[in-house]
Amino acid sequence: MLWVIRFSGFFSAALVMIVLSPSLQSFPPAEAIRSSRLDSYLRLPSFQVYTSPDDRFTFRKAFRFRNNDECGFADPKTTGVCDPSLVHVAITLDVQYLRGSIAAVHSILQHSLCPENIFFHFLVSETDLETLVRSTFPQLKFKVYYFDPEIVRNLISSSVRQALEQPLNYARNYLAALLEPCVRRVIYLDSDLIVVDDISKLWSTNLGSRTIGAPEYCHANFTKYFTNSFWSDDRFSGTFRGRKPCYFNTGVMVIDLAKWRRVRFTKRIERWMEIQKSDRIYELGSLPPFLLVFAGRVAPIGHRWNQHGLGGDNVRGSCRDLHPGPVSLLHWSGSGKPWLRMDSKKPCPLDALWAPYDLYGHPH
């Protein structure tokens, strides 16, 4: 049996036992996390490790995850990335967030009823990470896509936090071009999160006529995401006329790539980035262009799929508690990342929920 710490506030804690169950359902904060995996997958990880050639990273090899009997069989006539039975997930891989990306993948596999039906699309700006992924997840279905930083380097403006200025943050704008044309839908996930529910539930989101789906937060002060000069100039603020824009976090999105390609949304995002360079209409990195193009035109997804803000704000990275309601995904958006806080011996209470999925380890 595996135990994790569950906290009702910043300074109070109670132990909650993880109940192993073959049924998959997301868990309210007051309940136990339910896993689709068997006891063997929750044993202590083996001490077989992969060490990167430059000795920067070592990761334990994950146990193999197998499909449940009810997952069915793939069409033998269609193989590889174009298999229509696949669930497609896109995540970036970079040195700074690599530990988080590996933990995210691990969490997705552990809670999936059909883990062998998931295909991961890894976006990279470095070319030496594929071997690391293969060594950590030997049976994983994945492909690595190189994103050239020069594509966006001249479009990026300074932000409130330097990490938000990294070119790879903008790779999601180009998923429709990077991924194969046969991939018509994808789940995009940030690297600082864990999934504690079956990701096929998120995959089955009905987008209707919309191009993207995401949890929306209409109570948030939407005006703060843009400068006063933006709101005072009708050429810019007029883009929201006839819409009811709400904030949404771009770290968890379901994207209709076929529709994105048809409407050429990448060009629309790039146009707003060009305007930002000359008119300074926002302060927050890659988020505002998405809001400008899609806010008010988003298929709503339940908040359980993005319990965001666990990394605190963009400056101090202070500890946060869970939002009220059920949880299917925990997201350490903000400047505080659980692996960094744990290494510094200054973890926040909820970082204990991320730790079981961490495969980082040193050779023995």
CATH code for position 129: 3.90.550.10
pLDDT in the model for residue 18: 34
Q: What angle do CA 194, 341, 170 make, to 5 degrees?
A: 55
How many structural domains compose the chain? 1
Spatial distance between the Cα atoms of 11 and 19, rounded to a whole number of angstroms: 25
pLDDT of residue 285: 81
Q: Which of 35-39, 149-153, 169-173 shows the lowest per-residue confidence on average (mean pLDDT)?
A: 35-39
The answer to the question of residue 297 being in a domain is: yes
Write down the pTM of the prediction: 0.84
- For the chain, percent of residues with pLDDT exceeding 70: 79
In a domain, 346, yes or no: no
Q: Is residue 54 part of a domain?
A: no
- Residue 221 belongs to some domain of the structure: yes
Task: Report the distance separating Cα 363 and Cα 217, nearest Å.
Answer: 44
| Mean pLDDT of all residues in 234-249 | 96
Domain span including residue 300:
80-307
Arithmetic mean of pLDDT, 271-285: 91
Determine the distance from the C-alpha atom of residue 324 to the mean position of all C-alpha atoms in its chain, rounded to a whole number.
21
41 within a domain of the structure (yes/no) = no
* pLDDT at residue number 145: 96
> Considering the domain boundaries, does residue 338 fall inside one?
no
pLDDT of the residue at 60 = 93
| Chain centre to alpha carbon of residue 341 | 19
Is 12 among the domain residues? no
The amino acid at 197: D
Q: What is the pLDDT of residues 92-146, one digit of tens each?
A: 999 999 999 999 999 999 999 999 999 999 999 987 899 999 999 999 999 999 9
Domain for residue 334, yes or no? no
* Predicted confidence (pLDDT) per residue in 37-48, tens digit: 323 223 333 334
Token pair of 75 as six digits: 């069409």
* pLDDT tens figures, 224-241: 999 999 999 999 999 999
Q: Is the pLDDT of residue 23 over 90?
A: no
